[in-house]
Amino acid sequence: MNDDLVDGLVADFYQSQTPASVPPRARSTGWWWVAGLAAAVLVASVAGATGWALRAPAPPSTPRAADLQAPAPDEPVHVDQDGRVKTVMIQGSAADLEPEPGPEEALLGSRFDYEVDWIEGAPPRLDHDFVVVLVQPWCPHCEPGVEATMDAVADEPGLPVMVLSSLSRGATEEQFQAMLHFEPALAGAGVISSELERELLVGGGVPRALLFEDGEVVWVGHPRHLDQAL
Amino acid sequence: MSTDQALWNRGYRYALALTGDGPSAEDLLHDGWASALRARPEPSAGYLFRAIRSRWIDRWRRTQRVPFEALRSEPEAPGRGPGVTASDRQRVQQVLATLKPDEREVIFLAAVEGYTATEIGELTERPRGTVLSLLHRARQRVRNQLLDHREVMS
């Protein structure tokens, strides 16, 4: 059995693997942040009108790499042997090029007030410690994610867990209820707006757990890793 | 298949090579995809791979452990090439689950993506010699385990 055959078998296996999910959004435009800004303004105005305050995480203070990509004509551009641009000298300090905070980092320290349409249970006090799990009924990994969360908090009496979903892709409350089995330890389950879900996910996927202490996000990650945060 | 979907699938396979299990790979892919899109509206495969890898390292640093979970069982599909059976594929899946993540990563990049050792070294920030060593070890382990299995079966 030579290397080519080994590689062929490995390639065959990986090529047969496909993700259960699809790309979350089209990337035909660089103006996604405009939609995000519009959504944030909409949520803020609705929140103001209803007396609910939603404090979104502060935007990153450093400029994005994409904003810095266009070099001035007199700036050096290094081209490799094939004529491809390898490096482009751009204005700004090294600090300007630091990567943006990821979904987890962007949420840490944030506070949210929830407008939730509760379908089961009662909301926990938002100024206390609690766990939020974001799920979708169509997501095959979400039900195990809820179970992992309940396992993680089993040794944490008094730490309420609420499972929230925006019921996207036409999912129904019945499907949502069916995936939860109405765990007796759940503090509540409810439906939230897709805007609030986007705020909480910050580009990440479901299932996602958020641990709040005194109302502030102190940990974000996959529910299976929640036990390491507790 | 759209360009996005094709890139998404490639990203998933790379994440699968890193994590070794489907659910974690999906989660990693979502994070890497979002990160890549934030920086570039039209990320290349190499850029997406870097974003996924960066997320993987972040998680590893945060948890200080690399989960060695078995690859999930997929519904059996007929093998594509001549001589590749569904049971061969299942056996390859089991063998890949026994490799270390860095071995799985380099054999994936070489066998599936067709990267050279130099290109793998650039992506994974390893010397070319280390890549060649990892690749040799990974292929040898896959080969030996598959041959052992065949001997047992015969």
What residues of chain A lie within 8 A of the CB of B62, using their CB? 221
Exposure string (b/e) for A72-94, b if CB count within 10 Å is 16 or more?
eeeeeeeeeeeeeeeeeeeeeee
DSSP letter at A207 equals S
SS3 state of residue A170: coil
Q: What is the pLDDT of residues B33-57, one digit of tens each?
A: 888 887 777 778 888 898 898 888 8
Rounded to the nearest angstrom, the minimum Cα separation between A32 and chain B is 9
Please tell me which residue of chain B has the smallest CA distance to A17: B13
10 Å CB burial of residue A144 (0-12, 13-18, 19+) is middle
Chain B residues with beta carbon closer than 8 angstroms to that of A13? 89, 92-93, 96
Query: Which residues on adjacent β-strands are paired with residue A221?
Result: A209
Which of B24, B26, B33 minimises the CB distance to A20? Answer: B26
| Average pLDDT of adjacent 10-residue blocks, chain B of 154 residues | 81 90 86 82 84 82 50 42 66 88 91 89 87 91 83 63
Handedness of CA A208, A209, A215, A217 (dihedral sign): negative
Q: What is the pLDDT, as a whole number, of residue A187?
A: 77
Q: Low-confidence residues of chain A, pLDDT below 50? A: 27-30, 51-79, 85-100
Q: Tell me the pTM.
A: 0.44
DSSP lists the bridge partners of residue A78 as: A87
Residue contacts between A and B (CB atoms, under 8 Å): 141
> What residues in B contact A152, CB-CB < 8 Å?
none
pLDDT given for residue B11 in this prediction: 92
Cβ distance of A9 and B142 shorter than 8 Å: yes
- Are A12 and B92 contacting, i.e. CB atoms less than 8 angstroms apart? yes
